[in-house]
């Protein structure tokens, strides 16, 4: 990935905000808990590790190897781990397991795991050149769905419109949102991924759409005054946010009577044999069959909207997902959208990378075993148009 000047500026701004808002003592305490958790989690996952592998950190913390020798000594002193000197193995003790469960409880209650998954997902988004093309390879009707969102939006020329999660601008430009708003209006396209926004800026120039503004931002903390927009719109973005915070912010920046338009995927009960075979390592974590993803249920978004919005149009639809490209499928589901967030969060750094490669290989085997026409699943989706309560 090429690091642009804008990325540097964004990183500087985020760092300044973090330093201004964070108590140094709290930060140091939390950092130490994170370090201890990653060390103990790796030992529990692998059962034992060669002492040399542990202090090199290549299985769980290659970015922090310079401190791992001291961490190992501290963990032995705290009786959290033991070292078998004859075999040169490091193992987790029963006390270490208790410490790990305690820290897990703190992280779960504080929302750390969810925040970390979002940061990983954002980093993965920054490494994707064209998320729209990836989507269309998986969902051939994605382009038509985006155009339908614009057609049903109720957006009129001359309005002030905010687009959230604009990605590379597929809804903004190819689906015709910028034309719907028109040069007498204002369209602000936002996304937390700086690399995505670079693509949007290039498209703005090629379409000569001077009324389109491109702004770096996240839905949970919008950089706009209250009562700014007539309409807020987004395609497949809401499920990737902290929904309560995002909806509160959307309501804040919306004018009285303003609208919110969203199309988002819903939880899918995977039943197809090929899918269960492909993703078995994640669906059976801990020896227990599971079918958990982080996608909302049919009532999740309407319930979250209730405090701030009145729904005026709710429509269920099916998204035809094609599983014929193993690498694209795995990168999208596991690396970018992270529908198996909970399962992947329990894996150490190297194990997460190994899991991705394992799933790609399993996908290749599945695609050889099943005919292409059978590698299709219908995933439920939901379109909502709502009016802000003010």
pLDDT tens-digit series, residues 144-153: 999 999 999 9
Per the model's pLDDT, the better-predicted residue between 375 and 10 turns out to be: 375
* Stretch 217-221: mean pLDDT: 93
Buried-exposed string 318-347: b where 16+ CB fall within 10 A, e elsewhere: ebebbbbbbebbbbbbbbbbbbbbbbbbeb
How many angstroms separate the CA atoms of 4 and 112, rounded? Answer: 28
* Stretch 370-389: mean pLDDT: 95
Nearest one of 357, 356, 334 to 138, comparing CA atoms: 334
Q: Which residues contact 148 (CB under 8 A, 6 or more apart)?
A: 263, 383
Nearest one of 223, 168, 229 to 195, comparing CA atoms: 168
The per-residue pLDDT for 22 is 67
Strand partners, 199: none
β-pairing verdict for 376-388 and 309-322: antiparallel
Strand partners, 213: 188
Return the structure tokens found at 365: 């085997």
How many angstroms separate the CA atoms of 193 and 197, rounded? Answer: 7
3-state secondary structure at position 266: coil
The per-residue pLDDT for 286 is 46
The per-residue pLDDT for 142 is 92
The per-residue pLDDT for 121 is 72
Is pLDDT of 316 > 90?
yes
How many angstroms separate the CA atoms of 14 and 26, rounded? Answer: 18
Query: Average pLDDT of the chain?
Result: 89
> What pLDDT band is residue 353 in, cutting at 50, 70 and 90?
very high
CB half-sphere exposure, 139, CA atoms < 13 A: 20
pLDDT tens-digit series, residues 279-295: 999 887 544 334 455 78
pLDDT tens-digit series, residues 193-208: 888 899 999 999 999 9
> What pLDDT band is residue 383 in, cutting at 50, 70 and 90?
very high
180-184, 328-332, 369-373: least confident range? 328-332
pTM: 0.81
The per-residue pLDDT for 113 is 81
28-37, 38-47, 316-325: least confident range? 28-37
The per-residue pLDDT for 173 is 97
How many angstroms separate the CA atoms of 67 and 39, rounded? Answer: 11
Is pLDDT of 124 > 80?
no
Q: What percent of the chain has pLDDT over 70?
A: 90
pLDDT tens-digit series, residues 152-181: 999 999 999 999 999 999 999 999 999 999
Q: Which residues contact 324 (CB under 8 A, 6 or more apart)?
A: 367, 372, 375
Long-range CB contacts (within 8 A, 24+) of 272-275: 272/374, 272/377, 274/323, 274/366, 274/369, 274/370, 274/374, 274/375, 275/323, 275/377
**Alpha helices in 226-384, H assignment, sequence order:** 243-253, 273-278, 280-283, 300-305, 326-330, 341-345, 349-369
Is pLDDT of 73 > 80?
yes
Dihedral-angle region of residue 338 (phi above 0 means left; psi in -120 to 50 means alpha; beta otherwise): left
* Stretch 57-76: mean pLDDT: 90
How many angstroms separate the CA atoms of 153 and 163, rounded? Answer: 12
Is pLDDT of 4 > 60?
no
Nearest one of 302, 313, 317, 311 to 146, comparing CA atoms: 317
């Amino acid at each position: 990935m090429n690091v642009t000047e804008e990325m540097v500026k964004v990183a500087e701004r985020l760092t300044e905000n973090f330093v201004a808002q964070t108590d140094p003592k709290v930060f140091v305490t939390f950092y130490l808990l994170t370090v201890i958790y990653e060390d103990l989690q790796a030992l529990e996952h692998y059962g034992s590790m060669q002492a040399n592998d542990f202090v090199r950190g290549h299985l769980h913390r290659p970015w922090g190897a310079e401190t791992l020798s001291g961490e190992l000594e501290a963990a032995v002193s705290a009786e959290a781990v033991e070292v078998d000197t004859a075999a040169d193995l490091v193992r987790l003790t029963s006390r270490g397991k208790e410490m790990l469960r305690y820290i897990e409880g703190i992280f779960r209650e504080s929302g750390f795991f969810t925040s970390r998954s979002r940061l990983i997902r954002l980093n993965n988004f920054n490494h994707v050149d064209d998320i729209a093309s990836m989507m269309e390879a998986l969902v051939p009707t994605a382009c038509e769905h985006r155009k339908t969102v614009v057609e049903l939006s109720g957006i009129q020329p001359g309005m002030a419109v905010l687009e959230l999660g604009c990605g590379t601008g597929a809804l903004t430009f190819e689906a015709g949102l910028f034309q719907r708003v028109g040069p007498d209006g204002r369209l602000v396209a936002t996304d937390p991924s700086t690399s995505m926004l670079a693509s949007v800026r290039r498209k703005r120039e090629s379409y000569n759409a001077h009324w389109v503004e491109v702004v770096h931002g996240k839905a949970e903390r919008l950089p706009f005054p209250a009562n700014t927009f007539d309409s807020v719109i987004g395609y497949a973005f809401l499920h990737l946010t902290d929904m309560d915070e995002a909806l509160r912010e959307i309501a804040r920046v919306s004018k009285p009577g303003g609208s919110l338009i969203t199309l988002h995927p819903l939880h899918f009960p995977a039943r197809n044999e090929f899918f269960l075979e492909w993703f078995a390592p994640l669906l059976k974590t801990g020896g227990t069959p599971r079918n958990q993803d982080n996608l909302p249920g049919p009532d999740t978004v309407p319930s979250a909207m209730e405090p701030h919005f009145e729904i005026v149009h709710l429509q269920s639809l099916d998204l035809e997902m094609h599983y014929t490209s193993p690498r694209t499928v795995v990168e999208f589901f596991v690396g970018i959208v992270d529908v198996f967030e909970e399962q992947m969060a329990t894996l150490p750094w190297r194990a997460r990378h190994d899991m991705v490669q394992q799933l790609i290989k399993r996908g290749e085997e599945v695609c050889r075993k099943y005919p292409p026409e059978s590698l299709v699943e219908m995933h439920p989706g939901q379109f909502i148009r709502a009016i802000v309560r003010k």
